[in-house]
Amino acid sequence: MNKVEKRHINKLEEYLWEIPTSYKSNMRVPARVLASEVLLDDIIEDRSLDQLVNVATLPGIKVASLVMPDVHEGYGFPIGGVAATSYPDGAISPGGIGYDINCGVRLLTSELKIHQIKGKVEELIKEMYAQIPSGMGKGGQIVLSVKEIDEVLIKGAEWAIDHGYGIKEDLAYIESNGKLASAKPDLVSEMAKKRGANQLGTLGSGNHFVEVDYVEEIYDTEIAKAFGLFEGQVVIMIHTGSRGLGHQVATDYIRLMMTAMTKYEIKVPDKELACVPFNSEEGQNYFKAMCAAANYAWCNREIISWEARSVWKKIFGLEVGPSLLYDVAHNIAKIETYMIDGEEQKVIVHRKGATRAFGPGFEELPKNYRKVGQPVIIPGSMGTCSYVLVGTSRSYDVTFGSCCHGAGRRLSRRAAKRQVNAPVLKKQLREKGIFIEAGSFKGIAEEAPITYKDVNLVVDTVSDSGIAKKVAKLRPIAVVKG
Amino acid sequence: MKIQYLPHTADIRMKVEASTLQELFIAGTRGMNTILKKGFCNQFDESKKKARIEIQSSDYTCLLIDFLSEVLSFSYVDKSIYCKVCILKFSKYKIIAEVLGNPIDYFEEEIKAVTYHEADVQKRNDNQWETCIIFDI
């Protein structure tokens, strides 16, 4: 099997690399990699770039298929990928969004400093573990009727607020205000709804987590102030998605598109790239179902925040819980407008393991962020550090307003289990001042810091390339691992 | 039948081999169930849960993936693992089966999806059937 090698890649500029269309005859646009050379050498090792080349063959794809420096091999699309297709007749591909629709991350900021919570961290994380359901296929406290689940799919985070599980002020601080208006619950299968009926307010497993961090370093005082961040401040990060409901929506529609593709005479080099024209009946149905699943995910993160805030208030005897800094999606498709070939064009931006990173002036942002740009939250791993960045106007020109979404996996879960002694790791992290609560040692091993790329290298790359700017560095002190 | 788990950066890559096409479906289910909870299916003589699965697809590769996806969906909705596969009807790109299993307290792994990526049902020269399957976890 042919594999992309370094000799196939041209350097366009510092941190931007390109595999030209001459590499493979079916490429409609070049494939671009945003990475430092050190990271690129690492990226070449797995099949990420071969998958990126396949994405470049999608009907209607514009400018280039792109990957961020945290990219790793996925199935069909690479994880850490961005693809924009022409609106309204370009392809929409569920694989370009992923099975965990609107998997995303949010950050809550408290008024407390690290020295004020020392001695209570263990109690805090144990209580969070007890109150926030996590682990494999676990259900939560809220069990929805069919009518209620339809309301969640329409209202998103608003549903949580209406039912006393959230704070109204949060909505302005959520991407798309926590609700995509195109959502149509009727286009979500009964099986998907059944899977989602008891999973609101649950983390799930894999790389999902709730993490307590403190702000270790501020890089940009003015922007940090706009975001309400200060040195020593304790913050809470939440990473999860649309749970079984989203997984089922993706499964249902990838299956449907597999058959529908023939009708539109579309051929793809990998079945997981199955796609149809956005403005076809199947394309519209998927998009509306995807929006519904995205709304479920925003509602889920709002309810988990409510659970975390309740624990916070109880442990520290406070009336008010932490505020929401921002909530951003990693796996989603959005209709956005960019300057392409000298004119404004609407495109369907697929982000799979990539974060929207819009710069200053973006209307949707709350007033206090509009001047500085959209917050971009980059989780590292449970033993290293995470970052808060801010989007820039350069991201519009280079990456369809997108940035990396994390450190990026480098080691398989199997290799992790072979190489990591989880009880020893848990003890070592404890000695470093990081408490871990997890359902199993297997889960700890799979998410060990060595399984991820160096988040500092990834963040420096996006920062030095100018598509986002560093605002603050966060250091973990406690983690509930899903 | 033979089930192997191979390296993959983030997910699970499984290779299944069987002497007949129908057996490949049973091997795939068995391999998937081992991911959900190793050894679970060896614990029971009787099955308390039952589901009927009817799938039609465009080829045998899609049929296998769609079948496993459906078994997985029932596993989550019914909070059970379906260990036994009784194939009632098997024709070109169509399967009707009854799956039997038992309730489970918790899954060891949460499989988000059975993907089509790298799946390719093939009959080898030695008449054995095989395919690779990637599970998104």
Question: Residue B7: its pLDDT value, please?
Answer: 77
Q: Check B117 against A46: CB less than 8 A apart.
A: no
- Pairing of the two strands B12-18 and B49-56: unpaired
Residue A114 CA to residue B43 CA, distance in Å, equals 49
Question: Residue A1: its pLDDT value, please?
Answer: 65
DSSP state letters, A121-176 = HHHHHHHHHHHS--STT---S----HHHHHHHHHHTHHHHHHTTSS-GGGGGGBGG
Q: Quick check: A346 contacting B, CB < 8 Å?
A: no
CA atoms within 13 A on the CB side of A261: 24
Q: Which of B8, B66, B107 shows the shortest C-beta gap to A137?
A: B107
Q: What is the ipTM of this complex?
A: 0.93
Evaluate the CA torsion angle A222, A223, A227, A229 in order and state its sign.
negative
Q: What is the mean pLDDT of each run of 10 residues along chain A (482 residues)?
A: 92 97 98 97 94 98 98 93 98 96 98 96 97 79 93 98 97 98 98 96 92 98 98 98 97 95 95 96 98 98 98 97 98 98 97 97 95 97 94 97 94 85 93 92 89 94 97 97 87
Q: Which residues of A touch B115 (CB under 8 A)?
A: 75-76, 99, 272
Q: Are A196 and A144 in contact (CB under 8 A)?
A: yes
Q: Quick check: A100 contacting B, CB < 8 Å?
A: yes
Q: Are A450 and A39 in contact (CB under 8 A)?
A: no
Q: Check B109 against A250: CB less than 8 A apart.
A: no
Is residue B11 very low, low, confident or very high in pLDDT (cuts 50, 70, 90)?
confident
**pLDDT higher than threshold 90 for residue B102:** yes
pLDDT digits (tens, 9 = 90+) for A136-171: 656 788 999 989 999 999 999 999 999 999 999 999
Mutate to test the interface with A, among B32, B117, B132 (most CBs of A within 10 A): B117
Distance of CA A400 to the CA centre of its chain: 16
In the DSSP assignment, the letter for residue A360 is: T
Size of interface A-B (CB pairs under 8 A): 104
Taking CA–CA distances from A243, the nearest residue in chain B reads: B112
Mutate to test the interface with B, among A72, A194, A272 (most CBs of B within 10 A): A272
Q: Are A216 and A480 in contact (CB under 8 A)?
A: no
Q: Check A73 against B109: CB less than 8 A apart.
A: no
pLDDT digits (tens, 9 = 90+) for B122-131: 999 999 999 9
- Residue B86 sits at the vertex; the CA angle it makes with B75 and B20, to the nearest 5 degrees, is 110
Average pLDDT, chain B: 94
Q: Does A405 qualify as catalytic in the annotation?
A: yes
- pTM of structure: 0.96
Q: Which of A72, A135, A254 shows the shortest C-beta gap to B10?
A: A72
pLDDT above 90 covers a percentage of chain B that reads: 83
Question: Left if phi > 0, otherwise alpha if psi is -120 to 50, otherwise beta: which for A113?
Answer: beta
Residue A461 CA to residue A34 CA, distance in Å, equals 8
**pLDDT higher than threshold 70 for residue B84:** yes
- Residue B90 sits at the vertex; the CA angle it makes with B86 and B95, to the nearest 5 degrees, is 75
Q: Are B133 and B65 in contact (CB under 8 A)?
A: yes
Q: Are B56 and B92 in contact (CB under 8 A)?
A: no
In the DSSP assignment, the letter for residue A365 is: S
Question: Residue B45: its pLDDT value, please?
Answer: 85
Evaluate the CA torsion angle B102, B60, B34, A252 in order and state its sign.
negative
pLDDT digits (tens, 9 = 90+) for B12-47: 899 999 999 999 999 999 999 999 999 999 988 899
Distance of CA A214 to the CA centre of its chain: 21
Q: Check B77 against A195: CB less than 8 A apart.
A: yes
Question: Residue A186: its pLDDT value, please?
Answer: 98
Q: Which of A100, A191, A412 shows the shortest C-beta gap to B112?
A: A100
- Residue A148 sits at the vertex; the CA angle it makes with A145 and A152, to the nearest 5 degrees, is 135
Residue A263 CA to residue B56 CA, distance in Å, equals 17
Q: Which residue type, as a one-letter code, is found at position A401?
A: G
Q: Check A272 against B7: CB less than 8 A apart.
A: no
